[in-house]
Amino acid sequence: MDQPLTPQQELEQVLATALHCGTHIIPVMMEGFTWPKTEELPEEIREISELNAMSFSTEFFSAFIDKLLKWME
């Protein structure tokens, strides 16, 4: 019987599938987030560190949402 995936493993699997399929991904970086070094990421999701990301700010929430919606067009 297979062990259930951890939340981390589930996330990695979803990201790997999305990257493999060419799905558009917009990483949203929460306050205080920093990317790990590329070599620290699992090989199948390393590409995500090269994507343009948006920094989330509670102070400028409306502007953040406007920018996110514009990127999604």
* Alpha helices in 1-73, H assignment, sequence order: 7-21, 61-72
Taking the model in full, what pTM does it have? Answer: 0.75
Mean pLDDT over 3-15 rounds to 94
pLDDT digits (tens, 9 = 90+) for 35-51: 899 999 999 999 998 88
Give the model's pLDDT for residue 52.
86
Residues in CB range of 70: below 8 A, 6 or more apart: none
